Amino acid sequence: MNRSTTILASLGMGLWASLAMAAPPEPVVLAPIEHIDAQLVIVDMDGNEHVYTPDSLEAMGAFRVVTKTPWRPEEAVFEGTTLQVLLRAHGLDGSEAIRVTAENDFQSIVEREVWEDVPILLATRVDGRPHTRRARGPIQFVIPDADYSSSDVAKEGHLVWMA
C-alpha cells in the first residue's frame, strides 16, 4: 500500500465514523398544523382507539431530525414526535411488536428491537412546512439515515407513510 492509498483509507475510515455518529432527535416547539383529515389511530391493549392529528402528535413533544430517506436523496428537516413517546403514552413500549397500517392499507410489523435500536420520528413537517401526501405525508415514519444504514434490524418497510 503506498502513501496516497494509506491516506485515502484513513480519510474514508474517518468519514465513516463521523457518519455513523448521527445526532439524536432534538426537542423543538412548533406552531399548529391544520390537516383536518390527517390522523393516526392507536389501538391500546384493551382495544380502545386513540386518534391523533398532526397537532396532537406534536403536542406530545416535538423533535427535529435532519436526514435523507430512501425516497429523498437530499437532506431535509423532519419534525414531529417519536414513536417511542407515543408508545410509552399508551403503555405499549414493552410490546413485542406493533402493526402499522397506512391509509392505503399497506401494513408493516415493527418489532420492539427496531424502536429500541433506532429513533423513529413520526414526521408531521418537512423543512418547516406541514407534511403533504404528495411528499409521503401527512405523517411519515422517518429513521435518521446514519442510524438506518448502520442498523441490522431497521428495514425500508418500517418507513411507513400515511397516504
- Residue 78 covered by a domain: yes
Q: How far is CA 77 from the centre of its chain?
A: 12
Which residues, listed in sequence order, are joined to residue 26 by a DSSP beta bridge?
64
What CATH number has the domain bearing residue 56? 3.90.420.10
| Best CA proximity match to 85, nearest among 44, 120, 125 | 120
- Residue 71 covered by a domain: yes
Q: What is the pLDDT of residue 35?
A: 54
Q: What is the pLDDT of residue 115?
A: 95
Total domain count, the chain: 1
Q: What is the pLDDT of residue 20?
A: 56
Q: What is the pLDDT of residue 71?
A: 84
Q: What is the pLDDT of residue 36?
A: 52
Q: What is the pLDDT of residue 21?
A: 64
Length of the chain, please? 163
- Residue 93 covered by a domain: yes
d(CA 7, CA 74): 28
- Residue 137 covered by a domain: yes
The b-or-e profile of 13-40 (16+ CB within 10 A means b, else e) is eeeeeeeeebeebeeeebeebebeebbb
d(CA 80, CA 28): 9
Query: Would the pTM count as exceeding 0.85?
Result: no
Segments forming the whole domain that contains residue 105: 22-158
Query: Could you report the average pLDDT of every consecutive run of 10 residues in the chain (163 residues)?
Result: 47 49 82 69 86 91 94 93 94 91 87 95 93 83 91 88 69
141: which residues sit within 8 A by CB, 6+ positions away?
83, 100, 120, 121, 122, 123, 158, 159, 160, 161
Q: What is the pLDDT of residue 62?
A: 94
